[in-house]
Amino acid sequence: MIEALPGALYTTDAAGRITSYNPAAAELWGRLPKLGAEQWCGSNRLYKPDGTPMPHDESPMALALKEHRPIQGAEAIAERPDGGRVPFLAYVTLLRDPSGVITGAVNMLVDITERKRAEELALRLAAIVETSDDSIIGVDLNGIITSWNQGAERLLTYTAEEAVGTPVSMLIPPDRRDEERSIVRRVQNGEHVDHVETVRLRKDGSPVWVSLTVSPLKDPQGNVIGASRIGRDITERRRGEEHRRILIGELNHRVKNTLAKVQAIASQTLRNAASVEEARMSFETRLIALAKAHDLLTRESWESADLTDIVRDALELYAGANRFRIDGPVVRLGPEPALAIAMALHELSTNAAKYGALSRDDGCIDIVWRLKGDADGRRLSLRWAERGGPPVVPPQRKGFGSRLLERALAQELGGEVRVVYEPTGVICMIEAFLLADETKQQNAAIGEIRNVPSDRQG
């Protein structure tokens, strides 16, 4: 019967010499020890549970015989000849004759390899759960939190002491309760819920976007006893997606606006040109002016542009004339006002080159602006004044440039634009109301003379 037992058994005499063993013991040791010759244990080597060597005379069998006491559940590791190691528990029972004298002992060895593997796996999984960046929460069938890892503490800001034992519903916004009930029903039916994007509440009540995976927890009989909830913070991803959505919408809006501007420029240019060549040149220069304004805004991520940069870019074609004086504080303009003023300055400078101050060597232009107002908003006053050019005669009809200045620019800026044809030179006065976040004034800059790069002062 002992030979047929699946458990490892062996016996020794009072001196610890092995007197018998069954096949299960030989299999555990991986060898066949010599009866009556080998002592204490049949394995090649023994180790303590921590992996340090254990001499045979310190084995559970040796201690039981030396100390005259049974050993119950002592743990050790047997090494086989092939190097494999088998963790086991030793149960040593002393054998006595009718007079009570110890005549030997019987040792039952319980192989705990699978148990050790399960323990190691459990410890490994516990370490993974505890150190995971994801929020991992255990919940029972009543919705009570049973476990809470460090990732949950970082994401949801409750400590484990605060969270364990409380309802998981404290993490769920009121408008997400129906979604939660659906998840619970699916889990109770044994379903796995994968990557639901939802919102959870932190300790301070602030929302956080998470990708939620919920898996049922089952007992050995397969009954659902709870759920494991893994939440990954996707707040930044959602912000990125929203930002991309806004950018696409903004890009679509800007493309449409740009095409509308190009269409208007083309229509007005062709309508007012005296020849095909004049139309081509006017259209090209206007598109170049529009492109420069776009480049300036692109460098600033299409948030705003400095009025000084707008003026300099618009006058770059005529910078060699060395006849511009630019004076004004720092002003940031939004995309639409920036484009409108850039196109207006282009029309003014083109007109000045053809008929005004820039058509003569001694002509010059002052471009001066000032800001007035308070924290809620400021009024921008910009003045373009030509001098030194030929005598000015008011035009018989208004061309594209005049209509752009007096109608389109005024409408875009929500203000007033006036063009005065003084005999000494054209004067254009622009009044625009700017929101507080579109302006930035530096007192040190007021009154500073900023010149287009040149060899001499204008």
Helices (H), ranges, 86-196 = 113-131, 150-156, 160-163, 177-188
Looking at residue 205, its pLDDT comes to 92
Looking at residue 29, its pLDDT comes to 95
Kindly state the average pLDDT of the residues 417-426: 89
Looking at residue 441, its pLDDT comes to 37
Identify the residue whose tokens are 């939190």: 145
Kindly state the average pLDDT of the residues 251-269: 69
- Distance between CA 234 and CA 210 in Å, rounded? 5
Kindly state the average pLDDT of the residues 53-79: 94
- Distance between CA 158 and CA 148 in Å, rounded? 9
Answer whether 67's CB lies under 8 Å from 104's CB: no
Helices (H), ranges, 21-173 = 23-29, 60-67, 113-131, 150-156, 160-163
Q: Using one digit for the tens of pLDDT, what is the confidence trace for 281-332?
A: 777 777 777 777 777 777 766 778 889 998 988 888 776 556 888 999 988 8
Answer whether 371's CB lies under 8 Å from 329's CB: yes
Res. 421: pLDDT tops 50 = yes
HSE-CB for 171 with a 13 A CA cutoff:
29
Helices and strands in the chain: count of H runs, count of E runs:
12, 20
- Superfamily classification of domain 273-450: Histidine kinase-like ATPase, C-terminal domain (3.30.565.10)
The percentage of residues in the chain with a pLDDT greater than 70, rounded to a whole number, is 85
Res. 437: pLDDT tops 70 = no
Looking at residue 146, its pLDDT comes to 93
Kindly state the average pLDDT of the residues 104-122: 89
Helix (H, G, I), strand (E, B) or coil at 321: helix
Q: Which tops the pLDDT comparison, 284 or 238?
A: 238
Hey, what long-range contacts does 83-87 have (CB within 8 A, 24 or more apart)? Answer: 84/30, 85/47, 86/28, 86/111, 86/113, 87/49, 87/111, 87/112, 87/113, 87/116
Packing angle, helices 335-354 and 235-272, rounded to 10: 30
- Superfamily classification of domain 132-233: PAS domain (3.30.450.20)
pTM, two decimal places: 0.48
Res. 246: pLDDT tops 70 = yes
- Distance between CA 291 and CA 264 in Å, rounded? 15
Q: Using one digit for the tens of pLDDT, what is the confidence trace for 187-210?
A: 989 899 988 899 999 999 999 999
Label residue 10 by pLDDT band (50, 70, 90). very high
305, 329, 373, 445 from 440: Cα distances, Å: 11, 8, 12, 11
Res. 438: pLDDT tops 50 = no
Res. 433: pLDDT tops 90 = no
Per CATH, 8-117 and 132-233 having the same topology is answered yes
The percentage of residues in the chain with a pLDDT greater than 90, rounded to a whole number, is 43
Kindly state the average pLDDT of the residues 170-198: 90
Label residue 450 by pLDDT band (50, 70, 90). very low
Name the helix (H) or strand (E) containing 348. Answer: helix 335-354
Looking at residue 403, its pLDDT comes to 66
Q: Which tops the pLDDT comparison, 404 or 79?
A: 79
Does domain 8-117 match CATH 3.30.420.40? no
Q: Using one digit for the tens of pLDDT, what is the confidence trace for 17-48?
A: 999 999 999 999 999 999 999 999 999 999 99
Q: Which tops the pLDDT comparison, 9 or 409?
A: 9
Domain residue ranges of the chain, discontinuous segments joined by +: 8-117, 132-233, 273-450
Q: DSSP per residue over 367-420, as a string?
A: EEEEEEEETTEEEEEEEEEEESSSPP---SS--HHHHIIIIIIHHHHTSEEEEE
Torsion angle of alpha carbons 20, 22, 26, 27, nearest 10°? -170
Answer whether 213's CB lies under 8 Å from 194's CB: yes
Label residue 244 by pLDDT band (50, 70, 90). confident
Kindly state the average pLDDT of the residues 92-110: 94
- Distance between CA 112 and CA 74 in Å, rounded? 12
